[in-house]
Amino acid sequence: MSEPILHSAIPYEIRHSLPGTQPVADDDWLWVDEMYAPQMAYRDWLIADRPDVVHRMGAGSEDAAQELLSMSLDKLRNRNDFSVSAGQVVRPDGVAVPIDPEQPLVTLGRIAQADYCILQRPEGSDEHLLTAAILCFPSSWMLAEKAGRPLTAIHIPVPQYDEGIARRVQRLFDGVQVGRPLWRANSLWHGFPDLHQPKSESLPRRSYGPDAPYFRSERQVIMRLPETRAVVFSIHTFVTRNPGAVSA
């Protein structure tokens, strides 16, 4: 995008300890914020131009993806900022999005501002696997590398994600209850404002500090679907300018 999509502020307090989760109301995981229109325009472009980069649907994830879309549409029917009919959703920015039952996550990715990852724990597995996702705004990771992999592999090369954290996160995914979602937030100084920043896990990472020109945070919600019992991990991304930076 030629112009950065920047929020005026991060609308929540960030807890830095991992996993750092808090309860969230069951109707408070679909956010619309001040940057909805430009973020959705960018999402529309990414889904149309780079579908293989931003979307994955693994075998056995179809029912969970359909359930997530259906549940999301039910939530939106009770809101005044969306108009939901049998065949389409009119977004708050006025764009009409067709409901495609064959592409549930693509449909959701053009309606909701957040990204959505579906994780399922196959019988006999010690961990949940990333089985499907719509991921338009990755921060230094690639869906193609993480799809089908367990939680520990998904978090490579995050240095803080040690064995202790891995066990706590797996217990969190095992224990999250239907109708009782949890949320957490991360934070990262960034040198670039682009929301879409895929990067291979094999490439070196540059570390930025408080003098970086941009600050990025993800509001992450973890919830369980009632029918398929899959876990949904949603990611709502905020980027702000750092007023303390020398240049931005």
Q: Average pLDDT per run of 10 along the chain, which is 248 residues long?
A: 88 74 91 98 98 97 99 97 97 99 98 98 94 97 94 72 77 95 93 95 83 95 98 98 66
Token pair recorded at residue 202: 């094999």
Domain ranges of the chain: 22-241
DSSP, collapsed to helix, strand or coil, labels residue 76 as helix
Per-residue exposure over 86-96, b if at least 16 CB sit within 10 Å of its own CB, e if not: eebbebeeeee
Q: Any residues with CB less than 8 A from the CB of 246 and at least 6 apart, and which?
A: 211
pLDDT per residue as tens digits for the range 119-142: 999 999 999 999 999 999 999 999
pLDDT per residue as tens digits for the range 138-168: 999 999 999 999 988 887 766 565 677 778 8
Rounded CA separation 82/74 (Å) = 11
Q: Is the peptide bond before 157 cis (omega within 30 degrees of 0)?
A: yes
Rounded CA separation 185/235 (Å) = 9
pTM of the model: 0.93
